[in-house]
Amino acid sequence: MKYVFIQQHKVDFNITMMSRVLQVSRSGYYGWCQRQVQPSARQRCTAKLDEAVKDAFEAGKGRSGSPRLTLDLADAGTPYDRKTVANSLRRQGLRAKAAKKFKVTTDSKHNLPVAPNLLNQDFTAAAPNQKWVGDITYLWSDEGWLYLATVIDLYSRCVVGWAMSERMTASLVCDALQMRYGVGTNQPA
């Protein structure tokens, strides 16, 4: 703070006099001025480390923490201590993202009968209610995973029936179809 004060008031007062009043050495002030223009060897080394860590972090798509980055940097020929790499990550505000595990949702290897493909990739319809298609997806909610079954009319591309459940069962699809027909509801079909 004293050096900053001297820097701000050097036009108004003599540097020697301000150094004496503030009880700092002139050489200390001039050294501080020099460090403002040219970073010290330690600052240059830290900047080099930060750059190497950031490059390795981005090369790992932001998923690597300090242990893995330490190994990656050592393989690249720039060995650093794990704690040094961790401090660099912290200083730069870089945090590793955990990779999400792949969750298999479809069981294609079963012995159950497979329905024939009646549409043969022809997803056009000349009039309403000629062709319907359906799908089931899962959604995350505050209460956990919910499965959503939809029935879509290919003519209008509108959802004509849907149902939600905590379990993916045949009744889920039946409920979506029944919604279209108004079964069990007060709505006209």
pLDDT in tens, 120-147: 888 889 999 889 999 999 898 888 889 9
DSSP character at residue 166: S
Last residue of a domain, one of 29, 58, 92: 92
| Residue 85 shares a structural domain with residue 136 | no
Q: What are phi and psi of 48, to 5 degrees?
A: -65, -45
| Residue 53 shares a structural domain with residue 132 | no
Is residue 165 within 8 Å of residue 146, measured between CB atoms?
yes
For the chain, the domain total comes to: 2
pLDDT at position 58 over 60: yes
Last residue of a domain, one of 44, 71, 92: 92
- Give residue 189's pLDDT: 45
Kindly state whether residue 97 falls inside one of the protein's structural domains.
no
Identify the residue whose tokens are 């090369």: 59
Higher pLDDT, residue 10 or 52: 52
- Can you give the residue range of the structural domain that contains 6? 2-92
Mean of the per-residue pLDDT values for the chain? 86
For 85-102, give one letter per residue: b (16+ CB within 10 A) or e: bbbbbeeeebebeeeeee
Which whole-number Å values give the CA distances from 56 to 27, 79, 109, in the listed order?
40, 12, 40
Which whole-number Å values give the CA distances from 95 to 49, 55, 62, in the listed order?
16, 14, 7
| Residue 80 shares a structural domain with residue 144 | no
Kindly state whether residue 87 falls inside one of the protein's structural domains.
yes
**pTM summary value:** 0.42
Give 61-75 pLDDT, tens digit per residue.
888 889 999 999 899
% of the chain residues with pLDDT over 70: 96
| Residue 84 shares a structural domain with residue 113 | no
| Residue 123 shares a structural domain with residue 152 | yes
Higher pLDDT, residue 183 or 6: 6
Give 141-188 pLDDT, tens digit per residue.
888 889 999 999 999 999 999 999 998 888 999 999 998 877 554 444
- Give residue 184's pLDDT: 52
